């Protein structure tokens, strides 16, 4: 279906090779993405870039309520949680179909999660599934009847619902997985507002409107996601008419779009943290005073205003302020105080030491890592620490850092975007989450009180009680300073004025169902 539309889009792409001002097709939204997707299998994907496509092709049992990180029904109409917090029972929508015409039901839900979690599942080899740990608390899944599915957990796990709202929890068509096997990621089938039409490698992913969507047909005929990896090229195409919308606008281009009435700029704070991992096991950062000194030494406001040109706020701790229910704002960012930093370093006997600093050339959520590293290096030099920068391409950088800093480096840049206040501290600050145990605590921070609070926070489904624990964690980790807390990114996008009913979401996902194009 819609082959005429695909052909028209392909022709448009060729025509745009000329520098003349282009006009995008009516009823079709062309979105400039930051990269080619790796997979359109939601259980196999890990990148926000891919997630922005996936959430338009698939639905989950639940989703994030518009403009918030609160969970609301989607393919499930309702759910209940047992008193012991171990059993979640979901009532499902009736008469929902996948794009391939097969029925959505409880067996499809069971298939989706067991494919990811059970090594003996007949289609487990269609993975790998790198984010399966989001659902490792699941013990059994029972399709009680076609419209009821029950998840039994091994232990209470409060983030379960928010993890279900994350793209890893999107429901796939069992028939399509069985048909395409390991190629399912190139032939995706869900129940979303848009259905997959075409993937032309390094050119476009086309999704057409699904008129039978349970929540109503989308306003657009189609969405075309175009990978334009170079940020300046994305800007040039946006200005020349080759795109209707682009994400992650370079900071130095934002004002250009703000000054032009034919565009609208969108910004939204999200659950993002850019920070420095400090090696708490060895070297100068084994001393808390030196870790605190780094937080005082770095002029984070100058980085936010000058390097990032206002596209981020100064960070205070491991719980991003976007989680309004879990962060009461009582913990303030470390002030810029070079004198205090210098005094703490001298007190610890660390003055004049050289520290190895791992830096990424770029990567998901990394903002402007090389320029930020240079600013940090200069600030540390002023207080008596020499930072020796080692720069790596993204995948090499991740491999080095995720294996742990011991014996290699004293500090490293890192950025996380999360869906629950539990995720980042549990995976990267818990004592047992060191790399040798499969975690991301690359700086080896250990505090039994934080461990106990994290355990309590994930064992209660009472949100107010969870909030109390997370605010305590924020205060303790801020004081211990296992990281230098730098910035919370405000994501951005720009769209042509003809694009209507669009807004950015704090989840960093790109929801296009209600978007229209005048």
**Pairing between β-strand 28-33 and β-strand 245-247 as defined by DSSP bridges:** parallel
- Encode burial over 390-402: b for 16+ CB neighbours within 10 A, e otherwise: eebeeeebeebbe
Alpha-carbon gap, residue 46 to 168, rounded angstroms: 8
Q: Tens of pLDDT along the chain (518 residues)?
A: 444 455 555 544 444 433 334 567 889 999 999 889 999 999 999 888 899 999 999 999 999 999 888 899 999 999 999 999 999 999 999 999 999 999 999 999 999 999 999 999 999 999 999 889 899 999 999 999 999 999 999 999 999 999 999 999 999 999 999 999 999 999 999 999 999 999 999 999 999 999 999 999 999 999 999 999 888 999 999 999 999 999 989 888 999 999 999 999 999 888 999 999 999 999 999 999 999 999 999 999 999 999 999 999 999 999 999 998 999 999 999 999 999 999 999 999 999 999 999 999 987 788 899 999 999 999 999 999 999 999 999 889 989 999 999 999 999 999 998 889 999 999 999 999 999 998 899 999 999 999 999 999 999 988 899 999 999 999 999 999 999 999 999 889 999 999 999 999 988 899 999 999 98
Q: Measured at the alpha carbon of residue 280, what is the angle toward residues 277 and 285, in degrees to the nearest 5? A: 85
Positive or negative CA dihedral for 473, 379, 399, 284?
negative
Structure token digits, residue 46: 């890990």
User: Long-range CB contacts (< 8 A, 24+ apart) of 138-141?
Assistant: 138/113, 141/109, 141/110, 141/113, 141/114
**What are the C-alpha distances in Å from 113 to residues 60, 142, 507?**
11, 11, 22
Q: Do residues 302 and 375 make contact, with C-beta atoms less than 8 angstroms apart?
A: yes
Q: Which residue is listed with tokens 């701790």? A: 317
**Greatest extent of the chain over all pairs of C-alpha atoms, in Å:** 72
Q: Is 277 helix (H, G, I), strand (E, B) or coil?
A: strand
Q: Is 40 helix (H, G, I), strand (E, B) or coil?
A: coil
Note the pTM of the prediction, 2 decimals.
0.82
Alpha-carbon gap, residue 286 to 304, rounded angstroms: 28
HEC states along 99-129?
CCCCECCHHHHHHHHHHHHCCCCCCHHHCCC
Distance spanning both ends of the chain, measured CA to CA: 24
Class (C level, CATH) for 272-491: alpha beta
Element (H, E) at 343: helix 338-347
For the chain, the residue count is 518
Alpha-carbon gap, residue 241 to 82, rounded angstroms: 54
What residues does each domain of the chain span? 3-244+498-517, 272-491
Q: Measured at the alpha carbon of residue 502, what is the angle toward residues 501 and 508, in degrees to the nearest 5? A: 150
Tell me, what DSSP letter sits at residue 466? H
Q: Do residues 145 and 199 make contact, with C-beta atoms less than 8 angstroms apart?
A: no
Alpha-carbon gap, residue 382 to 386, rounded angstroms: 9
Rounding to the nearest 10 degrees, give the CA dihedral for residues 169, 505, 371, 378: -100
For domain 3-244+498-517, give the fold.
Answer: D-Maltodextrin-Binding Protein; domain 2 (3.40.190)
Asked, colleague to colleague, whether 3-244+498-517 and 272-491 share their fold, the answer is no
Alpha-carbon gap, residue 156 to 96, rounded angstroms: 30
């Amino acid at each position: 279906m819609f082959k005429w539309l695909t052909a028209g889009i392909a022709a448009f792409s060729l025509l745009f090779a000329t520098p003349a001002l282009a006009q995008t097709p009516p009823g079709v939204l062309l979105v400039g993405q930051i990269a080619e997707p790796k997979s359109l299998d939601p259980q196999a994907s890990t990148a926000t870039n891919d997630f922005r496509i996936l959430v338009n092709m698939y639905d989950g049992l639940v989703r994030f309520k518009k403009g918030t990180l609160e969970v609301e029904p989607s393919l499930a109409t309702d759910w209940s949680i047992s008193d012991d917090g171990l059993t979640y029972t979901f009532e499902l929508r009736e008469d929902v179909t996948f794009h391939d015409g097969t029925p959505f039901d409880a067996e499809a839900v069971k298939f989706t999660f067991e494919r990811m979690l059970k090594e003996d599942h007949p289609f487990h080899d269609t993975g790998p599934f790198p984010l399966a740990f989001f659902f490792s608390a699941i013990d059994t899944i029972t399709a009680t009847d076609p419209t009821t599915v029950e998840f039994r957990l091994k232990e209470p796990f409060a983030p379960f619902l928010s993890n279900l709202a994350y793209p890893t929890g999107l429901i796939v068509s069992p028939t399509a997985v069985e048909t395409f096997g390991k190629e399912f990621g190139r032939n995706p089938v869900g129940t979303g507002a848009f259905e997959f039409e075409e993937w032309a490698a390094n050119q476009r992913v086309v999704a057409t409107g699904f008129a039978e969507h349970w929540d109503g047909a989308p306003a657009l005929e189609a969405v075309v996601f175009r990978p334009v990896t170079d940020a300046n090229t994305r800007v040039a195409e946006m200005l020349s008419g080759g795109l209707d919308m682009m994400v992650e606008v370079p900071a130095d281009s934002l004002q250009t779009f703000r000054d032009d009435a034919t565009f609208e700029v969108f910004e939204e704070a999200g659950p993002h943290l850019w920070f420095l991992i400090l090696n708490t096991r060895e070297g100068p950062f084994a001393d808390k005073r030196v870790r605190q000194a780094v937080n005082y030494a770095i002029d984070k406001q100058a980085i936010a205003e000058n390097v990032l040109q206002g596209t981020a706020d100064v960070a205070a701790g491991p719980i991003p302020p976007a989680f309004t229910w879990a962060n009461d704002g009582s913990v303030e960012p470390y002030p810029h105080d070079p004198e205090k930093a210098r005094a703490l370093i001298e007190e610890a006997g660390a003055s004049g030491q050289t520290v190895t600093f791992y830096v990424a050339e770029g990567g998901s959520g990394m903002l402007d890592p090389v320029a930020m590293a240079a600013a940090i290096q200069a600030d540390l030099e002023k207080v008596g620490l020499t930072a020796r920068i080692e720069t790596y391409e993204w995948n090499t950088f991740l491999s080095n850092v995720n294996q742990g800093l011991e014996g290699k480096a004293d500090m490293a840049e890192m950025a996380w975007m999360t869906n629950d206040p539990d995720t980042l501290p549990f995976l990267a600050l818990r004592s047992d989450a060191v790399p040798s145990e499969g975690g991301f605590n690359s700086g080896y921070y250990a505090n039994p009180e934080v461990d106990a609070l994290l355990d309590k926070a994930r064992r209660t489904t009472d949100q107010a009680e969870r909030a109390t624990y997370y605010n305590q964690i924020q205060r303790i980790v801020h004081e211990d300073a296992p990281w230098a807390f730098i910035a919370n990114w405000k994501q951005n996008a720009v769209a042509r004025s003809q694009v209507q009913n669009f807004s950015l979401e704090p989840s960093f996902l790109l929801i296009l169902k209600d978007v229209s194009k005048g």
